[in-house]
């Protein structure tokens, strides 16, 4: 049995229903592109569900805080709306 420790980041955009459709699309595109770039450097598994919620599995637990910060910064660059994220 594999006993490696992984980290799971769960995120949700707060009050995303109050965002214009254009801003919403830009924000999701930014999230997808950021995860794509991160996954080229780090072993990640990503899934988006219920529209604006997502989970990322960092196969190396020590990468989780870096990944969470990069995602938050990328999202803030296009929309300052708050995002909940837990590791």
Report the pLDDT averaged over residues 49-75: 90
Question: Is 44 domain-assigned?
Answer: yes
Question: Is 1 domain-assigned?
Answer: no
Question: Is 53 domain-assigned?
Answer: yes
Whole-number pLDDT of residue 2: 59
Report the pLDDT averaged over residues 53-67: 92
Please give the tally of structural domains in the chain: 1
pTM of the model: 0.82
- Quickly list H helices, the chain: 21-41, 64-78
pLDDT digits (tens, 9 = 90+) for 7-53: 999 998 888 888 888 988 898 899 999 999 999 999 999 998 877 78
* Domain with 19 in it: 7-86
CATH of the domain at 73: 3.30.70.270
Neighbours of 16 (CB within 10 A): 18
């Amino acid at each position: 049995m594999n006993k490696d420790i992984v980290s799971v980041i769960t995120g949700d955009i707060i009050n995303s229903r109050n965002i214009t459709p254009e801003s919403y699309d830009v924000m999701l595109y930014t999230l997808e592109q950021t995860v794509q770039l991160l996954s080229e450097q780090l072993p990640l598994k990503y899934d988006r569900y219920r529209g604006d919620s997502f989970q990322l599995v960092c196969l190396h637990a020590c990468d989780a805080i870096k990944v969470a910060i990069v995602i938050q910064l990328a999202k803030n660059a296009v929309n300052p709306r708050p995002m909940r994220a837990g590791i």
